[in-house]
Chains A and B, each alone.
Chain A
Amino acid sequence: MSFNLLVGVCLAYVAALFLVAFFAERRAQAGKIGWLRSPIVYTLSLSIYCTAWTFYGAVGYAARSGLEFLVIYLGPTLVMVGWWWIVRKLVRIGKTQRITSIADLISSRYGKSNLLGVIVTVLAVVGTTPYIALQLQSVTLSFAVFAGDWRASGRQASAWQPVDLNATALWIAAGLALFTVLFGTRNLDANERHHGVVSAIAVEAVVKLVALVGLGVFVVWGVASGPADILARIDASPIADWQPDASRWVSLTFLSAVAFLCLPRMFQVMVVENADERHVATASWAFPLYLFLMSLFVVPIAVVGLGMMPAGANPDLFVLTIPLATDQDGLAMLSFLGGFSSATSMVIVAAIALSTMVSNHIVMPLWLSFATKGATVSGDVRQVVLIARRCSIAAVLLLGYAYYRISGGGTALAAIGLISFAGVAQVLPAMIGGIFWRGATRIGAAAGLLTGFAVWGYTLFLPSFGGSFLLTEAVLEHGLFGIGWLRPQALFGIEGMDPVVHAVMWSMVLNTLAFCLGSLFSFPGPLERLQGAQFVNVYEFGASARGWRGGMAEAEDLLVMAQRILGADQAQALFQRAATGQGKSGYLPDPSPDFLEMLERELSGSVGAATAHAMIAQIVGGASVSVEDLMAVADEAAQIMEYSSRLEAQSAELGRTARQLQEANEKLTELSIQKDAFLSQISHELRTPMTSIRAFSEILRDGGPVPEEDVEKFAGIIHDEAVRLTRLLDDLLDLSVLENGQVILNEQAGNLNELLDHALAATHAARQERPMRIIRDEHAEDLLIYTDTDRLSQVFINLISNAQKYCDAEDPELRIQVRQRGPRVDIVFADNGSGIPEKSQTLIFEKFSRLSDQAAAGGAGLGLAICREIMANLGGEIIYLPGQGGAAFRVTLPLARPKAAAAQ
């Protein structure tokens, strides 16, 4: 196969990618998002985790150390399978806070601190540059394989001069820069997705999967004769024995998991480019499946390669050399494109992510501070940002190229990859602490990041140059200043550890320690605390709490600034929407805190949280949020809660009132029934004497022969009946007088004992018929009271005769207890009958109420009602006392009637 054909196919492939990206952008612009944003595309875009390092390097890794290469895939698998813990939260935060990059996440979480943004950006650039160099190296190496006549010499790349390699790398870097600038900086808002780029890398993901699986199938069923044969070959190969090194196994799995979360390019596709949270759910199994397929054939390819290739062959290139050696040119081409795809997609996304970070956290703050006139002056900020991004992309790729030239491209691929992973992993404590721990502060995050960065640089990154860069060989051998404990690869005297494990352990431990201590011993500012609460409790806060005080900014200034960042149309539409929301017309809404918050969030999607915050702060002037504001927000929440609890109390009150009303209604209904019954009875009672009076008076009127004694008897009956009628009417009249308070009280001093004696004497006659034992305490009764003694006697007589009438015990007795309570006296009349049923207890004091007809002769149901009215007039009360073993009434009255009551 000719080298020119390869270059031709390669260029055609790149052109196809351009077309894919171009059409995806066109579709997106036409509003036809559709499959551009499906969970499958999201999952495939995550596959930029599998770079050329994994495409070529995994096979080499497997050929060198067997199954250990799997850790690079197992870490991300665990992260995605455990998406409910971290990835879901990151995606949610990214959406609500409009996060543009991992540096933005950290900066935004810790009070929109630009310092942290800069630290993370620098860390990311330093950590990613070697990785980009690695991609360039792998692509140039694969070109070299095709260019060199390796079959003749047995060693690849011999026919190519280093100059050619370097030129190839430069051309590739330039091509990638062009693609990235074209499709990665189309729109400023990093939150507006790069449809073209994502579609292109989705296509590339498919290509590299097909390439690797295709080669695997060829190796298993083409070269070997099926899975059984492959297993047999594995057992016979140099990597048949597998003794997992526990420390490497654990720490590398951890490292790959962490890198999956912290790598700027992974954050870009996983969080920033995510269109829908539900896509994460799909990716939680689909991405592990992708990794599974990518690594399924790695060991077979490595084993077959080891068996087929000469001893000196580079195992990193087995993916290419096996199909070439077996004259499978098509397959070789596919493998080449797979590796090429892996490299390019990684570089493109990494460059976009880094350029966003560099422009938002380094260039924009610098520009803001140099443009002394502030953000309100006319002049297009958009252009500045875009140019900054484009330059950053070019600079990042140039850096990668420079690193490639300096390092000479000699190291095994996997080593650089791990170094890079360990570098970006330093963001982990600040990130995880930031989203799960409200106590994490800016000082802590900065301390952790700087410590981790320094330890990583000292123990892993600089030693990787082998003593040729900054750290000399002497330092590597004997430690800094000759102190043995500071030897970069044996810190604190811990020797014999794998360098990567050593560096990961120390950097993560010291990083976390510094982060925790810094957080514990510092105090966060108001904005930091606000942001911390919003990040940690992202599921509870639908909208954000306030970060601005309103009223100090001119809406017009804000509009001018927003136009320069968002573009005139978009900014005007935004302002108009806000104004409409506030019920105003035109383009200028009130600069309320809510509006400022919304505007800042909108801007931060374009220039990052810290810059957006700084720009608004320039116009609004001064600090955005104070502790008082925070307290006010908390107060508001408290007020709302208090209000709701007041509502609750009110509704409980209403419930109580309703119950009372219901009770009253029941009472009224019962009373009405009683009244009806009474009316029929009283008519009957009035009618009976009337009838006899009429009958006897008719006899007397008609004359005739009536014996003398009969006349006398008849007249006596008529008189008796008339008296009964009169008594009934008297009672009614008495009650009516008492009720209207028209009664004239004849107050005088009296002894309670005498009053009771009198009452008992008055009811003596009835006791002759039905004897009743009276139990009294004469001593306690000896009390002088000042009241209307006649009326009081009336009450006593009524109560005693009631007991006489209604006590149904076989051996009836009445207990009269007198007790003085301060200025009042209680007199209890309790009999030993069956008492009054509970449902009637509320009724007995009502007019016309009678519990039964038995032994009711003479009573019209007015006695207790009269008693109650008398007691009310005397300034006391009478109540039914339940639970005394029979009917019991308590009469309470003042020893001396107060004047106020007397005036009634």
Chain B
Amino acid sequence: MKEPQKSVFVARETYRQRRTMDAARLLPLFGILALLLPLFWSETVTAERGTSRGIVYLFSVWIVLILCAAYLSRRLRSVLRKDESDGDAGGGG
């Protein structure tokens, strides 16, 4: 009995879409790392005016995350539309 085969190589457009999905999966991990960074700031940095530095840093990370998510969600909308009919195109490959 043969397994239904998934193609190993796909067209350029599909390949791009899958990498976009990978990026969407990676984004929160990047976000976690960026938000953990202040914990490793040395005390000399935080002790003096730590809050204002923290505000600038955290809100910058935040806005970057929002922009990345906005870009990715635009790219992924077409995938979702297609998904209505067939299964998940994800799973890498």
Judge whether A285 and B50 touch: CB under 8 Å: no
Taken residue by residue from 1 to 45, chain B's Cβ proximity to chain A (1 for < 8 Å, 0 otherwise) reads as 111100000000000000001001101110110011011000100
Q: How far is the CB of B49 from chain A (nearest CB, A)?
A: 5
Judge whether B25 and A85 touch: CB under 8 Å: yes
Judge whether A641 and B1 touch: CB under 8 Å: yes
- The residues of A that contact B29 with a CB separation of less than 8 Å are 82
Judge whether B76 and A281 touch: CB under 8 Å: yes
- The residues of A that contact B77 with a CB separation of less than 8 Å are 278, 281
Name the residue on B nearest A299 (C-beta): B55
Q: Provide the bound-state CA to CA distance between A242 and B53, in Å.
A: 9
Taken residue by residue from 49 to 93, chain B's Cβ proximity to chain A (1 for < 8 Å, 0 otherwise) reads as 111111100110011011111101100110011011001101000
If over half of A's interface residues share one DSSP class (helix, strand or loop), that class is named, otherwise mixed; here it is helix
- The residues of A that contact B69 with a CB separation of less than 8 Å are 80-81, 284-285, 288
Q: Provide the bound-state CA to CA distance between A67 and B49, in Å.
A: 12
Q: Is A509 an interface residue (CB 8 A)?
A: no
Kindly identify which residue among B21, B51, B63, B84 contacts A240, using a CB–CB cutoff of 8 Å.
Answer: B51
Q: Is A473 an interface residue (CB 8 A)?
A: no
- The residues of A that contact B90 with a CB separation of less than 8 Å are 539
Judge whether A641 and B2 touch: CB under 8 Å: yes
Name the residue on A nearest B70 (C-beta): A285
**Chain A interface residue count, Cβ-Cβ cutoff 8 angstroms:** 47
**Contact A78 B32, CB 8 Å, known A84-B25, A292-B63:** yes
Q: Provide the bound-state CA to CA distance between A81 and B36, in Å.
A: 16
Q: Is A542 an interface residue (CB 8 A)?
A: yes
- How many A-B residue contacts, CB cutoff 8 Å? 132
**Contact A243 B43, CB 8 Å, known A77-B62, A277-B80, A539-B90:** yes
Q: How far is the CB of A91 from chain B (nearest CB, A)?
A: 10
Name the residue on B nearest A277 (C-beta): B80
Judge whether A288 and B66 touch: CB under 8 Å: yes
Q: How far is the CB of A64 from chain B (nearest CB, A)?
A: 13
- The residues of A that contact B63 with a CB separation of less than 8 Å are 292
**Chain B interface residue count, Cβ-Cβ cutoff 8 angstroms:** 48
Kindly identify which residue among B21, B48, B55 contacts A67, using a CB–CB cutoff of 8 Å.
Answer: B55
Q: Is A70 an interface residue (CB 8 A)?
A: yes
Q: Provide the bound-state CA to CA distance between A50 and B24, in Å.
A: 25
**Contact A77 B52, CB 8 Å, known A278-B77, A282-B73, A645-B2:** no
Q: Provide the bound-state CA to CA distance between A110 and B7, in Å.
A: 34
Name the residue on A nearest B51 (C-beta): A242
| Extra inter-chain contacts (16) besides given A244-B38, A288-B69, A648-B2, CB under 8 Å | A81-B27, A81-B66, A82-B31, A84-B25, A84-B76, A234-B55, A239-B51, A240-B52, A241-B50, A244-B46, A250-B39, A277-B83, A284-B69, A292-B59, A539-B88, A645-B1
29 sample A-B contacts, Cβ–Cβ < 8 Å, listed by A number: A67-B58, A74-B58, A80-B69, A81-B28, A82-B27, A85-B28, A234-B49, A235-B49, A235-B51, A237-B51, A240-B49, A241-B50, A241-B51, A242-B46, A243-B47, A249-B39, A278-B80, A281-B77, A285-B67, A285-B73, A288-B66, A288-B69, A292-B66, A299-B51, A540-B87, A540-B88, A641-B2, A644-B2, A648-B2
Binding site for A on B (CB under 8 A): 1-4, 21, 24-25, 27-29, 31-32, 35-36, 38-39, 43, 46-55, 58-59, 62-63, 65-70, 72-73, 76-77, 80-81, 83-84, 87-88, 90
Closest 4 CB pairs of A and B: A82-B28, A539-B88, A242-B50, A285-B70
